[in-house]
């Protein structure tokens, strides 16, 4: 291919390399120059133009891209019309993307003018999703380079294909131990159903049995007999060894363990097995979460009817660190007394009390004391230290209500922008030596030091209790203890949404503490709620 600047009069039949904009003339890059273009360029006063011109043996960029794409595509893949030297490939159906990495590497090394990029191997894709693109870098390529690329693709055909989903019937067994809430199992089933729905699969039956070998083996056997093409076991206790309850139950029904453990985190404690010709998965604990983890990597392949060998699993290590495992940030050692439990208290008292009318609820009194003072005194009476109070609206009045208390005052000038700004100001003031913070609301006067201490006593980063929330008959309340691990996340919160979404995002780090009464759910937002709480406190 010839490339370079030529007089405009000699540019006929060549391709413009750069866009030209001058006066009323707009000539786009890639335009094939004919008589009209020459006339327009001359009229605009352009004397010279950079062009590319094919030589004998060259193939245009679009033709080369289309030819190579046609040689690459296999089952379930279609190629779009090539344009500007690019030919995109798309999935014709939902499934798992399979690519021959070695063939693609060889093709990309043939000539720098020829490139092929794909989505990651084994990625679940949906119908119509773009999965690969062939791009010819210059405006033309030597025919010999195109021919070598096509030959390489045909030799390894198919280089790119979609394995459609085949497994439709999934059986679930959940094992039970004391302390495992039924709602945890219900939530796991819901998440699993959502996980397999894109593959067209559904849960045909689910069983809940004691975490014992015999009961579990019976349940697996019954699900296979019911027609399950894949059985997933969610253990109440994680699999610790090939001789543990779940693998032992699999072998008891005549199944075999194909591989235990995987170099993907989260997802290490995965068991892959087979019984009566069907796959059986011992799910890791992270499979209860909707976040991507190693369970997804294996599950979706199995739903497409693909075998997952030991070699496949052990090859997942590079790229297998999907996220920090927040529940295991510390060495597994027995902590010293109080180690990791230095907790500060943060009392949020910056709000505008818009639902209270003209009254600032934080300085409204119960038993002769302002609400904010009650909240601060209870925090001071607890194990939390120091106690930080964030002020905002009517700062002077709130500070006066706290007069004489040994609290650290932090003013939030941006309080009108929402609760998130107060969290940011307060968290920034927590001393570096604190391992966590308990976030208290200044309008919850029934939260006492005993409740605060109970939550702090449960906070245990070394054992995975990084977020501690009070729970009343399944409803979560306040205050909440947060590990320093989440301080950055808390400081990113905007508006008035609070930190509830973080609790949902890091479910594996959350511990609920059942508490009696309604103190953890009762805040003062309206004159009516103030009267009700006041009456209840004064009756006590």
**Which pLDDT score is estimated for 331?**
41
Answer yes or no: pTM beyond 0.75.
Answer: no
Contacts for 199-203: CB closer than 8 Å, 24+ residues apart:
199/94, 199/124, 199/165, 199/167, 199/300, 199/303, 199/304, 200/94, 200/165, 200/168, 201/165, 201/167, 201/168, 201/169, 201/170, 201/230, 201/303, 202/168, 202/169, 202/170, 203/170, 203/171, 203/172
- The partner residues of 366 in beta bridges, in order of sequence, read 369
Q: List, for residues 310-368, the tens digit of each pLDDT value.
A: 999 999 999 999 865 555 444 443 334 344 479 999 999 998 877 777 778 899 998 88
User: How far is 131 from 123, CA to CA, in rounded Å?
Assistant: 9
Structural domains in the chain, sorted by start: 2-53 (3.90.105.10), 58-163 (3.90.1170.30), 169-314 (3.40.980.10), 343-535 (3.90.550.10)
Asked if 199 and 163 touch (Cβ cutoff 8 Å), the reply is no
pLDDT tens, 178-202? 878 898 999 999 999 999 999 999 9
Which two structure tokens, joined as six digits, stand for 23? 């006066």
Query: Of 281, 304, 305, which is closest to residue 293 (Cα–Cα)?
Result: 281
pLDDT in tens, the chain (540 residues): 787 888 888 888 888 888 888 888 888 888 888 988 888 888 888 888 988 887 788 899 999 999 999 999 999 999 999 988 999 999 999 999 999 999 999 999 999 999 999 999 999 999 999 999 999 998 889 999 999 999 999 999 999 999 999 999 999 999 999 878 898 999 999 999 999 999 999 999 999 999 999 999 999 999 999 999 999 999 999 999 999 999 999 999 999 999 999 999 989 999 999 999 999 999 999 899 888 899 999 999 999 999 999 999 999 999 999 865 555 444 443 334 344 479 999 999 998 877 777 778 899 998 889 999 999 999 999 999 999 999 999 999 999 999 999 999 999 999 999 889 999 999 999 999 999 999 999 999 999 999 999 999 999 987 778 999 999 988 899 999 999 989 988 998 887 776 777 887 777 788 999 998 888 888 888 888 888 888 887 776
Q: How far apart are CA 131 and CA 146, in angstroms?
A: 21
Q: How far apart are CA 302 and CA 231, in angstroms?
A: 11
Give the CA diameter of the chain: 100
Q: How far apart are CA 235 and CA 93, in angstroms?
A: 34
Query: Phi/psi at 380 (nearest 5 deg)?
Result: -65, -30
DSSP string, 95-141: EEEEE-HHHHHHHHTT-TTEEEEEPPTT-EE-TT-EEEEEEESSSEE
């Amino acid at each position: 291919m010839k490339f370079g600047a030529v007089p405009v009069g000699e540019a006929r039949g060549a391709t413009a390399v750069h866009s030209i904009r001058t006066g009323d003339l707009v000539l786009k890059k890639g335009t094939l120059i004919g008589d009209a273009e020459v006339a327009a360029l001359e009229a605009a006063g352009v004397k010279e133009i950079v062009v590319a011109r094919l030589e004998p043996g060259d193939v245009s960029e679009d033709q080369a891209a289309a030819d190579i794409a046609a040689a690459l595509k296999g089952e379930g893949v279609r190629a779009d019309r090539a344009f500007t030297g690019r030919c995109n490939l798309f999935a014709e159906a939902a499934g798992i993307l399979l690519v021959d990495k070695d063939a693609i590497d060889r093709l990309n090394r043939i000539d720098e003018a020829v490139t092929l990029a794909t989505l990651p191997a084994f990625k679940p894709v949906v119908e119509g999703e773009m999965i690969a693109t062939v791009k010819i870098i210059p405006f033309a390529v030597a025919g010999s380079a195109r021919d070598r690329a096509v030959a390489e693709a045909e030799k390894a055909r198919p280089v790119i294909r979609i394995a459609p989903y085949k497994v439709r019937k999934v059986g679930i067994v959940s094992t039970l131990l004391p302390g495992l809430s039924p709602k945890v199992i219900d939530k796991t089933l819901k998440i699993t159903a959502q996980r397999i729905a894109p593959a067209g699969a559904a849960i045909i039956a689910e069983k809940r049995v004691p975490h014992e070998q015999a009961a579990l083996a019976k349940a697996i056997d019954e699900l296979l007999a019911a027609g399950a093409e894949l059985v997933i076991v969610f253990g109440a206790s994680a699999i610790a060894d090939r001789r543990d309850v779940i693998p032992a139950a699999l072998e008891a029904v005549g199944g075999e363990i194909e591989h235990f453990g995987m170099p993907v985190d989260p997802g290490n404690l995965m068991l892959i097995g087979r019984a009566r010709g069907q796959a059986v998965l011992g799910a890791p604990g992270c499979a209860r979460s909707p976040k991507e983890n190693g369970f997804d990597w294996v599950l979706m392949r199995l739903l497409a009817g693909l075998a997952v060998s030991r070699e496949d699993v052990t090859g997942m290590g590079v790229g297998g660190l999907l996220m920090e495992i927040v529940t295991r940030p510390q060495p597994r050692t027995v902590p010293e007394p109080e180690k990791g439990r230095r907790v500060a208290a943060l009392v949020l008292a910056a709000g505008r009390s818009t639902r209270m009318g003209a009254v600032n609820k934080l300085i409204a009194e119960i038993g002769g004391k302002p609400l904010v003072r009650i909240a601060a005194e209870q925090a001071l009476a607890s194990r939390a230290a120091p106690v930080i109070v964030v002020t905002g609206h009517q700062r002077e009045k709130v500070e006066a209500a706290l007069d004489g208390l040994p609290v650290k005052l932090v003013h939030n000038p941006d309080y009108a922008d929402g609760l998130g700004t107060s969290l940011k100001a307060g968290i920034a003031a927590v001393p570096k030596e604190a391992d966590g913070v308990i976030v208290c609301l200044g309008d919850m006067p029934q939260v006492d030091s005993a409740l605060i201490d109970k939550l702090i006593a449960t906070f245990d980063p070394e054992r995975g209790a990084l977020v501690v929330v009070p729970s009343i008959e399944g409803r979560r309340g306040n205050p909440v203890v947060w590990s320093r691990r989440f301080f950055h996340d808390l400081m990113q919160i905007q508006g008035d949404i609070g930190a509830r979404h973080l609790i949902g995002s890091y479910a594996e780090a959350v511990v609920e503490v059942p508490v009696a009464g309604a103190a953890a759910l009762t805040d003062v937002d309206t004159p009516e709620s103030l009267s009700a709480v006041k009456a209840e406190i004064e009756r006590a």
